[in-house]
Each structure stands twice: as structure tokens, then as C-alpha cells.
């Protein structure tokens, strides 16, 4: 259902197209799976999760030491933003 929806609504038919849509429309930078050897037509992307850890050395150290890093405000905000983007794109 995602493939058909993305093609009809956004003209997305490849991982590169999906990556471009995510960057242009939502400011979310990802790489298409084709950058890692998958077929161009695969609608998969890869996300660098290291950016979630924080903007400062202190935040990154706290995230790496946390028992529940998703509960930290800056990580929770990033995950919430990603959830919003996916909800907006959903069929």
C-alpha cells in the first residue's frame, strides 16, 4: 500500500525519490538503500541514528549512558518528529 500511495500522491517510485521527498518536504536527510547496493526500485532508506544522540558531547555521553535513551528530551523530540513525518506520508 505504501508503494502505490507514494507513487500516486508524490510521484515516488524509487528509494532515491523517497530520500529526495523526505529531504525536500520534511528536512529529513536519509540515504536511499541503493547507495548500499540494493536495487533502485526498492523503497527503503537508511537513517544515521548517531545524530539522535545530541548536539553536544555532554548530550551524546548522557545518551550513551542512559538506560532509556528514548526518554531523553532531545531524542524523544527527534523520534516524535520522525513519527509525524511517517504519519503524514502514510497511505
pLDDT tens digits, one per residue of 35-78: 999 999 999 999 988 888 999 999 999 999 999 999 999 999 99
State phi, psi for 32 to the nearest 5 degrees: -70, 150
The answer to whether the Cα torsion of 8, 11, 15, 19 is positive or negative is negative
Neighbours of 83 (CB within 10 A): 10
Q: What cell was used for 74?
A: 532531545
Helix (H/G/I), strand (E/B), else coil: 46: strand
Helix (H/G/I), strand (E/B), else coil: 35: helix
Dihedral of CA atoms 5, 24, 50, 38 in degrees, nearest 10, equals: 50
**pTM of the entire predicted model:** 0.85
Amino acid at each position: 500500500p505504501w508503494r502505490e500511495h507514494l507513487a500516486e500522491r508524490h510521484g515516488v517510485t524509487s528509494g532515491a525519490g523517497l530520500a529526495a521527498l523526505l529531504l525536500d518536504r520534511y528536512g529529513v536527510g536519509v540515504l536511499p538503500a541503493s547507495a548500499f547496493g540494493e536495487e533502485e526500485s526498492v523503497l527503503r532508506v537508511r537513517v544515521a541514528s548517531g545524530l539522535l544522540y545530541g548536539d553536544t558531547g555532554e548530550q551524546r555521553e548522557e545518551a550513551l549512558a542512559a538506560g532509556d535513551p528514548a526518554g531523553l528530551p532531545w531524542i524523544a523530540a527527534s523520534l516524535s518528529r520522525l513519527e509525524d513525518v511517517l504519519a503524514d506520508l502514510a497511505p
